[in-house]
């Protein structure tokens, strides 16, 4: 997506440890016009998939997911992050390792909001090693729902998550894929 790549080139900051900061339009300050264009693009890519629900994870996925959901005309369910695992029978949960914080948390979705009738589009801001997506996928499977697709705003193609999911036959679309980035020069090369 050209508009998104332009913004990344102009405003993203490459940090040590393969972290890209996009705080000026996605992860801290949010540009609604850009997120709307992103939502529209996800709709164009998955319009044929009969999506009934969009699932994401708090906090950064929520803005993009809501913009996309306006086009699909479906609700958004976001997984909540719990530090301690005080879980009851009313929830689906998955343990996830956080790439950016290097710790583990439990992602939780209430059984009320996912069922075997659902065809789910998972949306997230970044795809790195695929841990967050893997956790959401196991929750969707536990609910008996169908994983109809995954939409990612920025995929770091040099990390293994995207390739592994595609090899498993998952329908995955990333709007910008980064092949390499350099924290010393700030250079970002797109696929
Ligand atoms: P994964 O689970 O695929 O290893 O990492 C994806 C999750 O970690 C995303 O939900 C995102 O919040 C965070 N993340 C991974 N890499 C980056 C990055 O380079 N920049 C930012 N801002 N978040 C990232």
User: Tens of pLDDT along 42-67?
Assistant: 999 999 999 999 999 999 999 999 99
Q: Which tokens in the block code for residue 2?
A: 């050209």
Ligand 1 atom closest to the CA of 19, numbered from 1: 19
- Give all domains of the chain, ordered by start, each with its CATH number: 35-176 (3.40.50.2020)
The pLDDT value recorded for residue 96 is 94
Ligand 1 atom closest to the CA of 61, numbered from 1: 10
The pLDDT value recorded for residue 86 is 67
Q: In what order do the strands lie in the sheet with 172-181?
A: 91-98, 103-110, 76-82, 53-57, 119-127, 146-156, 172-181, 188-190
Average pLDDT over all residues of the chain:
96
Q: Give the whole-angstrom CA distance, residue 122 versus residue 133.
A: 8
- Which residue among 24, 99, 186 has the greatest number of ligand 1 atoms within 8 angstroms of its CB, and so is best to mutate? 99
With a 6 Å cutoff on the Cβ, whether 161 touches ligand 1 is yes
Q: Which tokens in the block code for residue 67?
A: 């913009």
Quick one: average pLDDT of 106-133?
97
If pLDDT is split at 50, 70 and 90, which confidence band does 93 have?
A: very high
With a 6 Å cutoff on the Cβ, whether 128 touches ligand 1 is yes
């Amino acid at each position: 997506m050209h508009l998104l790549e332009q913004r990344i080139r102009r405003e993203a900051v490459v940090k040590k440890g393969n972290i890209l900061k996009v705080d000026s339009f996605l992860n801290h300050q949010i540009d609604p016009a850009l997120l709307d264009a992103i939502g529209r693009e996800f709709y164009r890519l998955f319009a044929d998939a009969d999506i009934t629900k969009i699932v994401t994870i708090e906090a950064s996925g929520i803005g993009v997911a809501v913009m996309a959901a306006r086009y699909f005309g479906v609700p958004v369910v976001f997984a909540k992050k719990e530090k301690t695992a005080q879980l009851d029978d009313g929830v689906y949960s998955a343990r996830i390792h956080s790439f950016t914080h290097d710790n583990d948390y439990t992602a939780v979705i209430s059984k009320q909001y996912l069922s075997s009738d659902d065809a789910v589009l998972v949306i997230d801001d970044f795809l790195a090693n695929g841990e967050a997506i893997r956790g959401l996928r196991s929750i969707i499977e536990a609910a008996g729902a169908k994983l109809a697709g995954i939409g990612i705003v920025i995929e770091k193609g040099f990390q293994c998550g995207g390739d592994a999911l595609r090899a498993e036959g998952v329908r995955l679309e990333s709007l910008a894929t980064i092949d390499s980035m350099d924290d010393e020069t700030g250079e970002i090369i797109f696929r």
